Chains A and B, each alone.
Chain A
Amino acid sequence: MKRLTLLAALCAATSAQAAQDTAGLVRFVACPVYRDTDAGRKSGCWLADDRENGKRWDVTESPYKPDWNFAVLVEGRPSANAAQPCGAPALDPVRTSRLDIPCTRHMIPAEGFPGRRYTLPRRNIAPLSVARAVPPGPYAERVFPVYFEFDKDFLVYQYDDWLIDNAVTWIKAAKPKKLIVTGFAATAPETVSGVTIAERPEAAQERAETIAETMRRLVPGTAVETKWEVAAQPTDEPEADGLPWQSQRRAEIRAVF
């Protein structure tokens, strides 16, 4: 399982087309359905139905999972893995952003589906007690992106902490003169499943400030400057997993010398 996700991520990373290749990408808004599978801790399934074509997807692999009381914005790519442990084809990579649209909570039984046994995701950080390997030089200007849930500036567990940990390890070794943190927000309205969605322009500034404060706490003494931009465009950075919408919702840490 772990190897598979790793492979998938590698594929996304190596194929330069990935981010641009929007064919096959799925995006819709739905009330999530929780399937109560039990293969141990964190093994429940999340399902969501695309109302425009009547397809049900397994969206469980999102780093930020749904809340059964709210609609989610689903963004993903059909998984290369045909297995259906949750009783529907899986999206992987996938993102599920919580929207402020109330839903009637719906839980269905496992109906014989096993769910997925929890495995530590690839993006997880070691405890502070474990020394980080010093990234080799030479060091030159470099940009580290950090990604967010729709309209939020919250650092996602086992995603952003990992991205930031890598950035900070490098910054500590490279000792840049200054960090320029730019927050981006996808403010251009789009209609998804009949719902018009757009990120608040303030989200760009919030993201910049959250990451700037994070840098001040993790690399104290380094100068940090903030900027923000609305109408964010997609990038093809690998850690957005080839999902253009995820790549828009970001902050960039630029280390300058």
Chain B
Amino acid sequence: MHFLPQKAFALPIAALVLALSVGARGGDVPDRWWAPGEGRVLPAALDYDNDHGTLRTLTVGGPLKTAGHPFFEPLGKDGRACVTCHQPSDAMSLSVKSARRQWDRTDGKDPLFAAYDGSNCPTLPQDRRESHSLLLDRGLIRVERPWPTKSFNGNPVTPDFTIEVVRDPNGCNSGPAYGPAAGKISVYRRPRPVANMKYLLAVGFPYDPKQGYALPLDPDDGKPQSGNLMADNRAGNLRIQMEDAAATHLQMLKALTPAQRKTLQDFELRVYSAMQTSKAGGALDSMGARGGPVRLRDSQPGALGSIGEPVWSEFKAWESIPKDEAAKLTPEQLAHRQSIARGAKVFREKMFLITDTAGINSRIGFGNPVRNSCVFCHNMSQMGNDVAPGQVDLGTTTLPFADPWDDLPLFKVTCTGRPHPHYGKVIYTYDPGFALTSGKCADVGKITLQSMRGLSARAPYFSNGLAKDLRGVVDYYERRYSIGYTEQEKQDLVNLMSAL
């Protein structure tokens, strides 16, 4: 704890709260929470500590003055900005830890907790903590989708399934104003990181092998779209995404101006974020390793690891650290580095049977089951997202694979045409995912693979926060696919993921 600067006592209460909370490193640095409209300068490189080490966020062409910048200014009536849910300390996502800290620091008054989507439902009493439990306990934001789906990629769609609400613990899927009967569905999702975007926008091949179709063309520039934005792929490009974000999360009544859109897009393409230093292993770009965001910034996006540079070969040099180099490390650092390198190999090489997973086991032709490893789906070099559009049903949001949670709504989906290839005619799900966009029963439960960078800064994981920490991620896969990882392999995977 450091001394308050003298003049802080003269500041109003709100500013005092701000001044009271010190940065992760201590000292008089600004708080790690970026509040809308503060007008800070975003440095070209910005470091924040977390439980596993230090995350670094680079802004190409920085430093950037955020005063007046649409990503940082409150644009709507709730006083929120994009940065509210996309925080530099959290790899441009939002950790549940930061959400809780903000609740405690502001007694629940931070615009993050706005009724529209920062509470379980706007109909609940907003001053109670339990009305915001999904955000505070699971890091989830309410996402409202229209129902029924009417069009996809510019073509009209008639869904081949119906949706009923089995239970609605929060009130946002029933009553006169909410739920399928009222023309909308509320699902709850984690903010996705707004960093390293060139990788999520990269197009490796002209086809979507999961949908068995050529990639859709961007309505703005006529080029093929990557299909890797948003859990349900409802936005095919950044323009559509930001308009959606402005109208919902920011509750902006006016549309973003062309100048604001340009500034936002330009910023989104300039931000890179990744772990720079491991608390236990030291600098992630030392002794031949190539972790950290610099390499992300400088590499060509969209490469398929299996035909080019293997995924997480960033840590190849640590597979065999020469004796004289090893002597410069503490035994703990050496062991941790070796574990990270082993984790990368486990990620690529430890095979298991992937079963009943739509997007992989159907309809693409790999067969059900198919033997492969983590890298089968997480196949893009440097990023670990999918080179092809990444809509896959891991079961994270759908029964019987998802955990039994009583605080999420549960929907009953009935396929009216062909049954779902793995679940059959009736499916119970917390979030139909991609099916809300495509209108296809075969897509129920499919969630777009995310980036795997900066994980340490943004727990919990998976679109509905199902895994509270990195070990929870590995445990989910172990349960889902009966992989048979040894304790050592699990720890190696966790250490690898903590270093990305």
Interface residues of A (CB under 8 A from B): 34, 36, 38, 40-44, 46, 63-69, 100, 107, 125, 127-129, 149, 152-161, 164-165, 210, 213-214, 217-218, 220
Further 6 A-B residue pairs, CB within 8 A, beyond A129-B302, A160-B212: A41-B376, A66-B368, A129-B300, A152-B363, A213-B213, A214-B213
CB pair A127–B373 under 8 Å, yes or no, is no
* One of B188-196, B198-206, B229-237, B241-249 contacting the partner: B198-206
Contact B367 A128 (CB under 8 A): no
The answer for the CA separation of A125 and B206 in the assembled complex, in Å, is 10
Q: Does B447 make an interface contact (CB < 8 A)?
A: no
Q: Interface digits, B205-219 against A, CB 8 Å rule (1 contact, 0 not)?
A: 111010011111100
Please, which residues of chain A bring their CB within 8 A of the CB of B372? 41-42
Which residues of B (385-431) have their CB < 8 Å from a CB of A?
418, 421-422
Do the beta carbons of A161 and B207 come within 8 Å of each other? Answer: yes
What are the nearest 6 A-B pairs in CB distance? A65-B367, A154-B212, A64-B365, A67-B368, A157-B209, A217-B214
CB distance from B352 to the nearest CB of A (A): 10
Quick check: is B224 within 8 A (CB to CB) of the other chain? yes
Contacts of B370 in A (CB 8 A): 42, 44, 65
Is the Cβ of A41 less than 8 Å from the Cβ of B373? Answer: yes
Contacts of B361 in A (CB 8 A): 67
* B134 smallest CB distance to A (angstroms): 35
A155 touches B367 (CB 8 A): no
Pick the contact of A44 from B217, B302, B371 — CB < 8 Å?
A: B371
Residues 324-368 of B at the A interface (beta carbon under 8 Å) = 351, 353, 356, 361-368
CB–CB B364/A157 < 8 A: yes
A210 and B213 contact, Cβ closer than 8 Å, known pairs A128-B204, A218-B206: yes
| Contacts from B to A (Cβ < 8 Å) | 203-207, 209, 212-217, 222, 224, 300, 302-304, 307, 351, 353, 356, 361-373, 376, 418, 421-422
Give the residues in chain A near B418, CB-CB below 8 Å: 100
Query: From B308, which residue of chain A is reached at the shortest CB distance?
Result: A127
Q: In the complex, how many angstroms separate the beta carbon of A61 from the nearest chain B beta carbon?
A: 11
**Closest CB in chain B relative to A117 CB, distance in Å:** 12
CB of B285 to closest CB in A, whole Å = 26
The interface centre, meaning the residue of B351, B368, B421 with most chain A CB atoms within 10 A of its CB, is: B368
Assuming the contacts A67-B361, A155-B207, asked whether A42 and B213 have C-beta atoms less than 8 A apart, the reply is no
Do A161 and B205 have beta carbons less than 8 Å apart?
yes
Minimum CB–CB distance from B124 to chain A (whole Å) comes to 42
Verify B212–A155 contact, CB threshold 8 A.
Answer: yes
B444 to chain A, nearest CB (A): 17
Q: Tell whether, in the assembled complex, residue B206 and residue A128 are in contact, meaning their CB atoms are under 8 Å apart.
A: yes
**Contacting residue for A217 out of B224, B303, B422, CB 8 A:** B224
Taking the nearest CB of chain B, how far is it from the CB of A180, in angstroms? 18
Given A155-B213, A214-B213, is A68 in contact with B207 using a C-beta cutoff of 8 Å? no
| Residue in A closest to B387 when the chains form the complex, CB atoms | A127
Q: List, in ascending order, chain A residues with CB within 8 A of B224's CB.
A: 128, 217
Query: What's the minimum C-beta distance from B17 to chain A, rounded to whole angstroms?
Result: 50
Is there contact, CB below 8 Å, between A69 and B213? Answer: no
Asked if B422 and A69 sit within 8 Å, CB to CB, the answer is: yes
Sample (18) of A-B pairs whose CB atoms are under 8 Å apart: A34-B369, A38-B351, A42-B371, A42-B372, A44-B371, A65-B365, A66-B367, A67-B421, A69-B368, A127-B205, A127-B307, A128-B203, A129-B300, A156-B212, A157-B207, A161-B205, A218-B214, A220-B222
Residues of B within 8 A of A127 (CB): 204-205, 302-304, 307
- Specify the chain A residue showing the minimal Cβ separation from B371: A44
Q: Check if A67 sits within 8 Å of B362, measured CB to CB.
A: yes
Contacts of A107 in B (CB 8 A): 369
**Using Cβ atoms and an 8 Å threshold, which residues of chain B touch A66?**
367-368
Chain B residue contacts of A63, Cβ below 8 A: 365
| B351 in contact with A157 (CB, 8 Å) | no
A194 and B436 alpha carbons, distance in the complex (Å): 40
User: Chain B residues with Cβ under 8 A from A152's Cβ?
Assistant: 363
How far does the alpha carbon of A68 sit from the alpha carbon of B367 in the complex, in Å?
8
In the assembled complex, the Cα of A128 lies from the Cα of B376 at a distance in Å of 20
> Are A156 and B366 interface neighbours, CB within 8 A?
no
Pick the contact of B369 from A68, A125, A156, A157 — CB < 8 Å?
A68
Knowing A41-B376, A64-B365 touch, does A128 contact B205 (C-beta < 8 A)?
yes
Contact A46 B367 (CB under 8 A): yes
Q: A44-B370, A69-B368, A217-B224 are in contact. Are A125 and B376 (CB under 8 A)?
A: no
Q: Are A214 and B371 in contact (CB under 8 A)?
A: no
Q: Which residue of B lies closest to A107 (CB)?
A: B369
By a CB distance below 8 angstroms, the chain B residues around A217 are 206, 214-217, 224
- Asked whether B212 lies within 8 Å of A43 as measured between CB atoms, the reply is no
Query: In the assembled complex, which residues on chain B have CB atoms less than 8 Å from the CB atom of A34?
Result: 367, 369
Q: Do B351 and A161 touch (CB < 8 A)?
A: no
Rounded to whole angstroms, the CA-CA distance of A198 and B63 in the bound complex is 66
Q: Which residues of B contact A43 (CB under 8 A)?
A: 371
Chain B residues within an 8 Å CB radius of A153 = 212
Complexed CA–CA distance, A69 and B421 (Å) = 9
What residues of chain A lie closer than 8 Å to B302, measured between beta carbons? 127, 129
Please measure, in the bound complex, the distance between the C-alpha atom of A152 and the C-alpha atom of B224, giving whole angstroms.
Answer: 24
